[in-house]
Structure 1
Amino acid sequence: MTFVFPKPEDTMEFGRSLGRSLRAGDLVLLAGPLGAGKTTLTRGIADGLGVGGRVSSPTFVLARVHPAGAAGVPLVHVDAYRLGGDLSQLDDLDLDTDLERSAIVVEWGEGSAERLSSDYLVVRLDRREDDVREVALEPHGTWADRVPELARS
């Protein structure tokens, strides 16, 4: 399933819709080049979940926990860019424990974070030369049944 978002606000709105559908135990992996809109999408997800705290790329701290808001589900926002494939650092974050009670969004997590759950959604973002974002969803496990709902919301 692919979407085209002409403006960053469209990416935010899609993130809000995705955030409203998230529940504890959900794993979302964001893939795409620098500047594609991964952090913008995460801001939308956080807004949709109603979590607290400023959402920014956690590149230098690797992970930020945003307390539960209106939806009652905390958000763990991870940026695996600096890990360079070093899975031991990802293990040190203890994300498998967080996954039981939180929704986890991992930027640059493809190729490493999938092992946390057989149920995950890859959101592949790309930024065209005309600044339009293209977003493709790749569902795994139970996400295959949930993705069509996202298209309707």
Structure 2
Amino acid sequence: MSAALHTIELPQESDTLEFGRRLGALLRAGDLVLLDGPLGAGKTVLARGIAAGMGVTGAVTSPTFVIARVHRPGSGDGPALVHVDAYRLGGLDEIDDLDLDTDLTESAVVVEWGEGLAERLADSYLLLRLRRRDDDVRELTAEPHGESWAPRLAQLAAR
């Protein structure tokens, strides 16, 4: 069951990074976040912000050609971030081959291009849709699924 949709404007890249940082600070092991949007919408920028909020050090880039990367927090505290790009995956079998459900036991998993493929990895997940308007402003629509996401989304909106 999904809760109400929440839409926010992200006028600058820094706004996308900041939203990601705030979200990343709330993530814990077992969390699944799906990022959807066309090329250039800001999915990887958002993932970089999430990584920063989780305390990940080092470069976070699109995992398009390697499919998945694991990033650990610099302090050793908190869950790892598994960053996946499902764009080149051929279907559910290839998602299964990545064994992401196992990663969810000790990591937060962020899947770019994951809508329609990765939802079945967890009963509770957050779907974030990014769109770039003609004026170059990004619109992010958040759709929480499961009981744990609605209160955390409200916490994000309150900041």
Q: Which range, TM-score by smaller chain?
A: over 0.9
Bigger Cα displacement from structure 2, 111-120 vs 140-149: 140-149
- 1:148 is aligned to 154
CA distance in 2, matches of 1:24, 1:118: 14
Deviation at 1:37, TM superposition (A): 0.1
TM-score by length of 1: 0.96
Alpha-carbon distance in 2 for matches of 1:83, 1:144: 29
Structure 1 position 53, deviation (Å): 2.9
Work out whether residues 53 and 67 of structure 1, in 8 Å CA contact, stay in contact via their aligned partners in 2. no
Q: Decide which of 118, 123, 128 is 1:118's aligned counterpart.
A: 123
2:132 maps to 1:127 = yes
Report the equivalent of 1:46: 51
Aligned length: 152
Bigger mean CA offset, 14-23 vs 46-55:
46-55
Equivalent residue runs for 1:7-18 within 5 Å: 7-18=12-23
Query: What is the CA distance between 1:87 and its match in structure 2?
Result: 1.3
Supply the RMSD in Å over aligned alpha carbons: 1.0
Would you tell me which structure has more helix in proportion to its own residues? 1
2: CA distance, partners of 1:18 / 1:39: 14
| Distance (Å, rounded) in 1 between the aligned partners of 2:111 and 2:57 | 18
- 1:80 pairs with 2:86: yes
Q: Which amino acid aligns with 1:57?
A: S
Q: CA deviation at 1:68?
A: 2.7
Change in Cα spacing, 1:109 to 1:7, as seen in structure 2 (3 Å) is same
Structure 2: tracts of 5 or more residues without a match: 1-5
CA distance in 1 between counterparts of 2:69 and 2:105 reads: 16
Structure 1 stretches (4+) deviating beyond 6 angstroms? none
Task: Name the CA distance, whole Å, in 1 between partners of 2:58 and 2:116.
Answer: 28
- SS of residue paired to 1:146: helix
